[in-house]
Structure 1
Amino acid sequence: MEEAHPTHYRFDPKTVALIGKYQSREISESLSLLARELERRGLTVIVEKSTADSASSPEFDRWERCDFAGIGQRADVAIVLGGDGTMLNAARQLAHYCVPLVGVNQGRLGFMTDIARSDMLAAMDDLLAGKFKPETRLLLEAEVFRGGEKVASSLALNEVVVDKGPIGRLIEFQLYIDNEFVFTLRSDGLIVSTPTGSTAYALSANGPIQHPQVSGIALVPLCPHSLTNRPILVSDRNEIEIRIRQAIDSRAHFDGQVTFDLRTEDVVRIRRSKFSICLLHPPGYSYFAMLREKLHWSELPQILKHGDQGDD
C-alpha cells in the first residue's frame, strides 16, 4: 500500500508566519528569538497581527503584521507557539488556505504542538530541509438552523458540543444520522468529536481515543440520564443532526472557543468539512509515543520522597 503521507516531500518555504498565544511574555520572547533566526536564514517573516499587537516588545515593529487572511494568502508555512488552544484557533482561521502548521509547545499538554521550546531553533534545520512529516487532520463543519434558516456556522478541529448552559438543567434532544432517527436523550449534552479531539473534551467524558488517520466521528454523551447510552463511533461520511426538543438554556460550542446560544426546536447539523488541516511533525514523531508521554502510560509509581509516609 502506498504511504499516504511520505516522510520527505517538496517543501521550499520562502515566507514563514508566526502565530502566538496572546499577551504572554514568554511567548513574545520565543517569537522574537525564532523570527530573528528565520530572518538570519534568509526567509521573509510575517507575524499574526493580534500576536504582534499584544507583544510587550517594540522589536516586533521590524516585522510585517498580517491578519489570518493575509497569512493564508502569503505564508508557505505557519509556526504556532503556545498550546493546543492557540493551535485550534490558527487551524480554524487558516483552514481555507491550506497553510501547513507546525506547533511549538509552550502550553500544558500540547497534543498538537510537537516541538519543545528548547528544541525550537534546532528543529528549523529539519523543517527547512523538508524532513518534517505531513499529516492531514479532518475538520467538522457545523451549522445551526432556526425555523429553517441558518443562523450560525463554524468549523471545528477538535469537537462540536451541544450542552446545557449555566442554569444547570438537563437538555433533551433527538439524534439523527443521515436522516435516520437514533435516539432521544436527556443529558448535559453531546460531544461530536474528530479523531484529533478524541484526546480533548471527549476523553474526559470516557470517549474512545481515535488514531488521527481513522475516518470516524465519535458521539459522546455528557452525563446521560440513562444507564445504557454509550459513545458511538460513526463514519466521517455520515451527516449528524441534533434536534433540540427541550432546553431552557443550551449552547453550541466549537472547539471550546466559539459559542452560540440555542433555543428549543433549533437544529445543529454536523458533517465533515471539505477543508482539512495539514500538521507537520518532526522526524521521529510517533502518535503512540506522544500518547505515552502526555497520558503517562506505562509509568511506574513514583518513589516517595524522604520523610513521606507510605503503606508498609
Structure 2
Amino acid sequence: MTAPHPSNPSSCRDCQFPPQTIALIGKYQSREIAESLSLLAKNLHDRGVGVLVEEATASLSETGVEPHIWTRCGYAEIGARADAAIVLGGDGTMLNAARHLARHRVPLVGVNQGRLGFMTDIARADMLTCVDDLLAGKFTAESRMLLSGEIVRDGRVVASNLALNEVVVDKGAIGRLIDFDLYVDGEFLYNLRSDGVIVSTPTGSTAYSLAANGPILHPQVTGIALVPLCPHSLTNRPVLVGDRNAIEIRIVRADDSRVHFDGQVTFDMKPGDAMRIRRSEDSVCFLHPPGYSYFAMLREKLHWSRQPTTR
C-alpha cells in the first residue's frame, strides 16, 4: 500500500494485508444497498475474510446475508476489530461512518451507490474487482483532515462534534439574517449580517462550500475555507486560513441560529454563544483503488471539459 501523505503520517493506521477482518457499512433501508452488501459479505467470507456488519446496516430487513457468515456490531467494536471498512452508499453514508470511526483510524473504502460520490469512488459494477485489489494491497492510502467544533455558552461547552466536510452556522428555520463576529486565533476578522458562514475542510470544498461559491481545495492543501452564506455586504468573500488556526464565531443577534456538522448533526445556538472550531487531532484515512485521480474525479463529477486527445 502507498504510504499516507507525510504531513500527517499517523492518520492512517498500519494496515494488515491481506486484511483479516473487514466491516461493511451501508445506507439504511435501501434494497440496492442490501443486495450489494449480501454480495460483498459472501465474497469476503468465501475468501476467508472475517466480516463485520454495522448494527444499523444489519437491521435491513432484506439483507439476504446468511447470519453465520458475518457478525453484527457497533462502531466501537468495528473500530477495535476491523482492518478496513467498506462503505456502500453515497457521500452522506461515508460522512456518517467517517465521524464514527475517525478516532479508531480504520481505513475506509467507498462504493458509490449515491448520486455524486466525491468520496465513494468505486462504482458498484467494479466492486468485486476492487475487492481483489484491496486484498492484494494495491490500494493507496490518503489522509483527510477533520474539524472539531464546540458550542460555548456562559463559559461552558454545551455541545461538540466532528465534521469531515464542514461546520455551518446559519439562520435556522425562521429565515432572518443573523449577526455574528468572526475571530481567527483570537483576532477579530469581521462582523457580518448574512444567512450564516461555512467553515470547510478541503474534502468539504466540493460540497456545500462549492454551492456557495467557495474555492475547491485539493485534499493535500492544509487549509480551512471560511465561506459567507448570502452576505448582506457584497465585499465579503471566502477566506482561506491555515489548518492550525483557531476559528471562533460569536452570535451577536439572531432569532433562530443553528450549527450543523456535515449537514447531519444539528444544535441550536443563542445570542452570546460562541462556536469554536479547529482542526481535530483525528483524521480520516481513505483507501483509493489503482488508477484513482482526484482531478479525473473532478472532471467527471463536475462535468468539466473532456481530457485532451494525445496525438
Q: Deviations 1:104-148 (Å, cap 9, x if unpaired)?
A: 000000000011000000111110111100000000000001001
What is the one-letter code of the residue matched to 2:40? L
What residue in structure 2 maps to residue 48 of structure 1?
54
Offset at residue 280 of structure 1 (A): 0.2
Q: Percent identity?
A: 71
Matched, 1:214 2:221: yes
What residue in structure 2 maps to residue 137 of structure 1?
144
Q: Structure 1: how far apart are the matches of 2:213 and 2:252?
A: 25
Structure 2: gaps of 5 or more residues? 7-13
C-alpha distance 189-60 of structure 1, shift in aligned 2 (>3 A): farther
Offset at residue 13 of structure 1 (A): 0.8
Map 1:217-296 onto structure 2 (within 5 A).
217-296=224-303
Kept in 1: contact 2:205–2:214 (CA 8 A): yes
SS at match of 1:29: helix
Q: Structure 2: how far apart are the matches of 1:217 and 1:225?
A: 22
What residue in structure 2 maps to residue 192 of structure 1?
199
Instruction: Report the number of matched residues.
Output: 298
Offset at residue 227 of structure 1 (A): 1.2
What is the one-letter code of the residue matched to 1:289? A
Q: Structure 2: how far apart are the matches of 1:55 and 1:19?
A: 15
Q: Structure 1: how far apart are the matches of 2:177 and 2:157?
A: 25
Q: Structure 1: how far apart are the matches of 2:131 and 2:149?
A: 36
Stretches (4+) displaced over 6 A: none
Matched, 1:20 2:20: no
Q: Structure 2: how far apart are the matches of 1:266 and 1:60?
A: 50
Q: Structure 2: how far apart are the matches of 1:139 and 1:48?
A: 22
Kept in 2: contact 1:133–1:282 (CA 8 A): yes
What residue in structure 1 maps to residue 11 of structure 2?
none
Kept in 2: contact 1:24–1:55 (CA 8 A): no
What residue in structure 2 maps to residue 32 of structure 1?
38
SS at match of 2:59: helix
Offset at residue 165 of structure 1 (A): 1.1
Q: Structure 2: how far apart are the matches of 1:212 and 1:77?
A: 21
Kept in 1: contact 2:4–2:141 (CA 8 A): no
Kept in 1: contact 2:151–2:275 (CA 8 A): yes
SS at match of 1:54: coil
**Of 89, 110, 113, which residue of structure 2 is paired with 1:82?**
89
What TM-score, normalized by structure 1, do the two folds share? Answer: 0.93
Kept in 2: contact 1:9–1:131 (CA 8 A): no
Offset at residue 58 of structure 1 (A): 5.0
Q: Structure 2: how far apart are the matches of 1:159 and 1:9?
A: 28
Offset at residue 55 of structure 1 (A): 3.7
SS at match of 1:59: coil
What TM-score, normalized by structure 2, do the two folds share? Answer: 0.93
Give me the CA root mean square deviation. 1.7
Q: Deviations 1:271-304 (Å, cap 9, x if unpaired)?
A: 000000000000000000000000000059xxxx
Structure 1: gaps of 5 or more residues? 301-312
